């Protein structure tokens, strides 16, 4: 979790200059990704991004802005079912590379992946939970889907990143359907370590669901359930 907090702090400081003074209204952006009564997550144009956009979040009541990724520093967030907003609690996954970040030999080189959970209803975006995106020793993962509880506990499906090039937060090609050896992970508030809830090639990486404290996913065509704190 310490690593996740550090990266979030860097993001906030780095994008603060772009945001300028706090606004009472959230910028329109170019596409809304998720929204609730209190928070909106959206794309903004970014010429430094190899995806041509960056991802920001905004408190709709105060206008406070948070960067969800920072392409200029090679920090990219996964989209689609891999980002989840529950009220003011935002759960998301990032691929992070340093200036010399690369993917080599399947171990990620100097790149790694993180899970982040933030309470964007708090000033500064309180870091509620987070940590590595998959089992060690591999550091670089894709995230196919993610769900967060109101208390900050989070579950997600992790797929290995196998491409030998810079990682930019893309679920394609091996983290959109079953086939690779995937993991269902949970990081629960109050627990000292992450849990592996499931693993195997039959896991559909986009299938994660959350109902109350029950998380579920599809493996070999059958939905499997587990309880979370």
pTM value?
0.86
Nearest partner of 120 among 11, 229, 221, 3, judged by Cα = 11
Question: What pLDDT, in 10s, does the model give residues 6-18?
Answer: 455 445 444 544 4
pLDDT band at 198 (very low <50, low <70, confident <90, very high): very high
Question: What pLDDT, in 10s, does the model give residues 99-150?
Answer: 554 444 444 457 899 999 999 998 777 777 789 999 999 999 999 999 999 9
Question: What pLDDT, in 10s, does the model give residues 18-54?
Answer: 443 444 688 888 899 999 999 999 999 999 899 999 9
Long-range pairs, 16-24, Cβ under 8 A, ≥24: 19/65, 22/62, 22/63, 22/64, 22/65, 23/63, 23/65, 24/62, 24/63
pLDDT band at 95 (very low <50, low <70, confident <90, very high): very high
Q: What is the pLDDT of residue 11?
A: 52
Q: What percent of the chain has pLDDT over 70?
A: 83
The number of C-alpha atoms within 13 Å of 94 and in the hemisphere containing its C-beta is 27
- DSSP letter, residue 10: H
């Amino acid at each position: 979790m310490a690593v996740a907090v550090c990266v979030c702090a860097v993001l906030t400081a780095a994008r603060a200059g772009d945001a300028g003074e706090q606004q009472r209204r959230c910028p329109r952006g170019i596409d809304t990704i998720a929204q609730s009564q209190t928070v909106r997550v959206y794309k903004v144009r970014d010429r430094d991004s190899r995806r041509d956009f960056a991802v920001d979040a905004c408190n709709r009541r105060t206008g406070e802005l948070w960067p969800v990724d920072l392409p200029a520093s090679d920090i990219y967030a996964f989209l689609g079912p891999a980002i989840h907003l529950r009220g003011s609690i935002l759960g998301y996954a990032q691929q992070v590379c340093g200036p010399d970040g690369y993917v080599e030999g399947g171990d990620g080189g100097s790149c790694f992946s993180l899970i982040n959970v933030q309470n964007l209803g708090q000033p500064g975006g309180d870091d509620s939970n987070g940590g590595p995106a998959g089992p060690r020793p591999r550091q670089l993962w894709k995230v196919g889907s993610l769900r967060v509880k109101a208390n900050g506990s989070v579950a997600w499906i992790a797929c290995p990143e196998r491409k030998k090039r810079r990682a930019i937060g893309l679920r394609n090609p091996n983290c959109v359907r079953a086939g690779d050896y995937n993991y269902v992970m949970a990081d629960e508030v109050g627990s000292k370590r992450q849990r592996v809830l499931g693993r195997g090639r039959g896991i559909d990486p986009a299938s994660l669901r959350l109902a109350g404290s029950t998380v579920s996913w599809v493996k070999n065509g059958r939905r499997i359930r587990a309880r979370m704190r």
